[in-house]
């Protein structure tokens, strides 16, 4: 009994240490965002600011158009998440239910697509968007984000579709339901956790993406938040640390809020699916 308790205590200690390790960057970012310049330059930095201030937040909004950039990021991330889910859901259903050569080829494309680095893709993407006259436009950036998120979204949703019993679809077919009605009335509600998780992945990926936005967007009014954050770093690599930390902290809030909302829907969808099953 004592050995079991000791092992459990060790597991909890390891879990707590891991959580603290993950939370360290965010906690330090919040601490830095509220520190005055005198404490930022201190050779002995403290976790808790001695004289908390909101001056860094005011300076950040005065120096850079954070609200406009956040609006651009929110628009592109939401559009990319919605479009990726709408395309991936029926495609994943076909991949999971019809084990054909085409489905296996798509699965291979998913694996290979995740192995390509950004640098190898930017030139063909740039030429394609140039021919479509979508360079320096938010719709063009949304298209890139959708293409980038689709392989993982397909792979993820296909696993959720395979977890849905095929007997439910067969029963719906016996009752006279067609393929589309079966997908949207029977299968899709049971895929709620997977759809929510896929949407979260696509949203966070687009919200945090920097490289494509930097290369494809040249007009300052169209730049996204990750690109605008780099403006707090001078030409010589010297960063305005206080305003940068404040802006970066604000940039993390939407992802945390979306994750909190979607997490509830994931749990609710899993319980609803269990009841329907």
3-state SS, one letter per residue, for 263-277 = HHHHHHHHHHHHHHC
Tell me the CB-side half-sphere exposure of residue 19, using CA atoms within 13 A.
6
Is the same domain home to 134 and 18?
A: no
Is the same domain home to 210 and 116?
A: yes
Is the same domain home to 160 and 226?
A: yes
Supply the mean pLDDT for the chain: 80
Question: Residue 68 above 60 pLDDT?
Answer: yes
| pLDDT, tens only, 74-88 | 999 999 999 999 998
Query: When comparing pLDDT for 16 and 82, which is higher?
Result: 82
Is the same domain home to 180 and 88?
A: yes
Report the alpha-carbon distance of residue 25 to residue 28 in Å, rounded. 5
pTM of the model as a whole: 0.80
Lowest mean pLDDT among 33-42, 54-63, 128-137, 236-245: 236-245
% of the chain exceeding 70 in pLDDT? 83
Report the alpha-carbon distance of residue 214 to residue 57 in Å, rounded. 24
Question: Residue 273 above 70 pLDDT?
Answer: no
pLDDT band at 264 (very low <50, low <70, confident <90, very high): low
* Domain, as residue range, for 9: 2-40
Cα 21 off chain centre by: 21
Residue 271 forms part of a structural domain: yes
Query: When comparing pLDDT for 206 and 163, which is higher?
Result: 206
Say if CB 262 and CB 199 are below 8 A apart.
yes
Residue 28's pLDDT is what?
85
Tally the residues of the chain.
Answer: 277
pLDDT band at 270 (very low <50, low <70, confident <90, very high): very low
Residue 174 forms part of a structural domain: yes
Is the same domain home to 169 and 260?
A: yes
Is the same domain home to 89 and 218?
A: yes
Is the same domain home to 34 and 91?
A: no
The domain that holds 123 is classified in CATH as: 1.10.3720.10
Is the same domain home to 148 and 231?
A: yes
Query: When comparing pLDDT for 107 and 160, which is higher?
Result: 160
Q: What does the pLDDT average to over 53-60?
A: 89
Residue 171's pLDDT is what?
79
Is the same domain home to 27 and 164?
A: no
Say if CB 197 and CB 156 are below 8 A apart.
yes
- What's the number of domains the chain is made of? 2
Beta bridge partners, 233, equal: 239
Report the alpha-carbon distance of residue 211 to residue 204 in Å, rounded. 15
| pLDDT, tens only, 121-141 | 788 888 888 888 889 999 999
Residue 266's pLDDT is what?
59
Is the same domain home to 116 and 18?
A: no
Question: Residue 119 above 90 pLDDT?
Answer: no
Residue 31 forms part of a structural domain: yes
Residue 1's pLDDT is what?
54
């Amino acid at each position: 009994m004592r050995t079991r308790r000791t092992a459990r205590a060790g597991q909890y200690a390891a879990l707590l240490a891991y959580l603290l390790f993950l939370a360290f960057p965010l906690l330090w970012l919040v601490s830095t965002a509220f520190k005055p310049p005198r404490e930022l330059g201190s050779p002995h930095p403290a976790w808790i600011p001695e004289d908390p201030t909101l001056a860094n937040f005011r300076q950040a909004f005065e120096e850079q158009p954070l609200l406009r950039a956040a609006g651009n990021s929110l628009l592109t991330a939401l559009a990319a998440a919605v479009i990726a889910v709408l395309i991936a859901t029926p495609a994943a259903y076909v991949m999971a239910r019809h084990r054909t050569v085409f489905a296996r080829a798509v699965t291979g494309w998913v694996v290979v697509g995740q192995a390509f680095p950004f640098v190898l893709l930017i030139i063909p993407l740039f030429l394609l968007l140039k021919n479509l006259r979508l360079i320096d436009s938010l719709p063009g950036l949304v298209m890139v984000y959708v293409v980038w998120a689709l392989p993982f979204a397909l792979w993820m949703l296909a696993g959720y579709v395979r977890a849905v019993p095929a007997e439910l679809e067969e029963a719906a077919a016996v009752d006279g339901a067609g393929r589309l009605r079966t997908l949207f009335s029977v299968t899709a509600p049971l895929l709620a956790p997977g759809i929510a998780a896929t949407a979260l992945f696509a949203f966070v990926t687009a919200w945090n993406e920097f490289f494509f936005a930097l290369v494809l967007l040249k007009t300052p009014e169209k730049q996204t938040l990750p690109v605008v954050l780099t403006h707090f770093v001078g030409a010589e690599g010297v960063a305005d640390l206080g305003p940068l930390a404040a802006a970066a902290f604000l940039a993390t809030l939407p992802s945390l809020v979306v994750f909190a909302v979607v997490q509830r829907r994931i749990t609710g969808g899993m319980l609803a699916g269990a009841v329907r099953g």
